[in-house]
Amino acid sequence: MANVTIIGAQWGDEGKGKVVDWLASRADIVVRFQGGHNAGHTLVVGNQTYKLSLLPSGLVRGKLGIIGNGVVIDPQALLAEIDRVRAQGLTVTPETLRVAENAILILPLHGALDRAREVARGERKIGTTGRGIGPAYEDKVARRAIRVCDLAEPQVLSDKLDELLLHHNTLLAGLGAETFDKQALLDQLLEWAPKILPYAEPVWERLDEARRAGKRILFEGAQAVMLDVDHGTYPFVTSSNTVAATAASGSGMAPATVGFVLGIAKAYCTRVGSGPFPTELHDDIGRKLGERGQEFGTVTGRPRRCGWFDAAMVRQACKVGGIQGLVMTKIDILDGFPEIKIGTGYRINGRAYSYLPAGQMAQAAAEPIYETLPGWSGTTRGARSWGELPAEAIKYVRRIEELVEAPVTLLSTGPDRDDTILMRDPFEG
pTM: 0.93
Written as one letter, the residue type at 140 is K
State the angle between helix axes of 182-196 and 75-87 in degrees (0 to 180), rounded to the nearest 10: 40
Dihedral sign of CA atoms 137, 142, 146, 148 in order: positive
CATH of domain 265-428: 3.90.170.10
Mean pLDDT of the chain: 92
- Report the pLDDT averaged over residues 16-31: 86
Q: How is the chain split into domains, by residue range?
A: 4-100+199-260, 104-196, 265-428
**Is the pLDDT score of 417 beyond 80?**
no
One-character DSSP codes across 118-146: HHHHGGG-----SSSHHHHHHHHHTT---
Name the band, by pLDDT with cuts 50, 70 and 90, for residue 31.
very high
CATH entry 1.10.300.10 includes domain 104-196: yes
Residue 109's pLDDT band (cuts 50, 70, 90): very high
Q: What is the pLDDT of residues 61-81, one digit of tens each?
A: 889 999 999 999 999 999 999
177 DSSP assignment:
P
Q: Which helix (H) or strand (E) holds 169?
A: helix 154-174
What's the one-letter identity of residue 283? D
Which pLDDT score, from 0 to 100, does residue 133 have?
92
Query: pLDDT value at position 424?
Result: 85
- What's residue 288's pLDDT? 95
- Structural class in CATH, domain 4-100+199-260: alpha beta
Catalytic residues: 13, 41
Percentage of residues of the chain with pLDDT beyond 70: 98
pLDDT at 1 over 70: no
Q: Cβ atoms within 10 A of the Cβ of 91, count? A: 11
Q: How far apart are CA 323 and CA 19, in angstroms?
A: 15
Q: Above 60 in pLDDT, residue 294?
A: yes
Residues 204 and 247: beta-carbon distance below 8 Å? no
Q: Which of 294-303, 325-334, 417-426 has the lowest mean pLDDT?
A: 294-303
pLDDT reported for residue 429: 67
pLDDT of residue 327: 95
Query: Residue 299: what pLDDT?
Result: 62
CB contact set of 327 (below 8 Å; sequence gap of 6+): 6, 15, 19, 262, 263, 264, 265, 408, 409, 410, 411, 412
**CA angle, 92 then 96 then 98, to 5°:** 105
Give the DSSP per-residue string, 210-263.
HHHTT--EEEE--S-GGG-TTTSSTTSS-SS--STTHHHHTTT--GGGG-EEEE
For the packed helices 182-196 and 154-174, what is the interaxial angle rounded to 10 degrees? 130
Q: In sequence order, what are the beta bridge partners of 29?
A: 64, 217
DSSP 336-404: T-SEEEEEEEEEETTEEESS--S-HHHHHH-EEEEEEEE--SS--TT--SGGGS-HHHHHHHHHHHHHH
Residues 44, 8: contact at Cβ < 8 Å?
no
| The pLDDT of residue 274 | 87
